[in-house]
């Protein structure tokens, strides 16, 4: 039996754009209308749907924006902030210290400015390092000020990098896909430079870079 060919079209809806598939409105997993504010994103999603159905990155990312309450992503980012990798540095060897600072110090500097100059506590051991209350309050206010799309990009980038701070910098377009990927995996890249390359690690890096690149396109289409 031949699988019916999908025909996806972009439809303007006021200030937003929807996609129809074989004449029917494209829906999110929660059965809401799939809509976005970017015509370019809608066109990219329509092309994806024709080729891959609802398995494409742009469909999934915008579905998350439509389906997920702001409080969900905001709460998760706040909950993981104290364990953010950029606040846990090595104190030796010196080349690792320098490598971490190269990738993490610019992120901390940007985030400090974005949050109004609040202080950060840097730990040199693995014991939980709680950030000051004023820093948490500033972060919460900053997250509330993000658009739905910015918050979603920060959330996904943070998960890819295992770092809320790196995710926020990426969402703010302070980092591109490659920089965010490398910052999120600084320790692994340092270890790889010292020892024999690991094929499994290389595969994991390639997949992470691919997802970051897709997220960057989504980000740049969305705002």
Token representation of residue 170: 């990426």
Q: Can you give the pLDDT at residue 180?
A: 99
Q: Is the pLDDT of residue 125 over 90?
A: no
**Taking the complete model, does pTM exceed 0.85, yes or no?**
yes
What digits encode the pLDDT tens for the residues 87-110?
999 999 999 999 999 999 999 999
Q: Is the distance from CB of 67 to CB of 32 less than 8 angstroms?
A: yes
All structural domains of the chain: 8-67 (3.30.2180), 70-222 (1.10.3580.10)
């Amino acid at each position: 039996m031949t699988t019916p060919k999908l025909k996806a079209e972009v439809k303007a809806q006021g200030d937003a754009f929807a996609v129809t598939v074989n004449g029917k409105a494209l829906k999110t997993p929660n059965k809401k209308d799939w809509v976005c504010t970017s015509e370019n994103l809608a066109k990219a999603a329509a092309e994806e749907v024709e080729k891959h159905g609802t398995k494409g990155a742009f469909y999934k990312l915008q579905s998350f924006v439509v389906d997920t309450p702001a409080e969900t992503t905001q709460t998760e980012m706040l909950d993981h902030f104290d364990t953010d990798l950029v606040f846990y540095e090595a104190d030796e060897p010196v080349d690792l210290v320098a490598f971490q600072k190269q990738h993490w110090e610019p992120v901390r500097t940007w985030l400090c400015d974005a949050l109004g100059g609040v202080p950060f506590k840097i730990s040199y051991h693995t014991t939980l390092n709680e950030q000051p209350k004023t820093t948490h309050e500033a972060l919460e206010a900053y997250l509330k000020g993000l658009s739905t799309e910015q918050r979603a990009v920060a959330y996904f980038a943070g998960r890819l990098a295992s770092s809320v701070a790196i995710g926020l910098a990426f969402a703010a377009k302070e980092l591109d896909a490659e920089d965010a990927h490398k910052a999120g995996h600084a320790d692994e890249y340092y270890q790889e430079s010292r020892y024999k390359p690991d094929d499994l690690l290389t595969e994991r890096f390639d997949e992470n870079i691919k997802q970051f690149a897709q997220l960057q396109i989504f980000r740049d289409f969305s705002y």
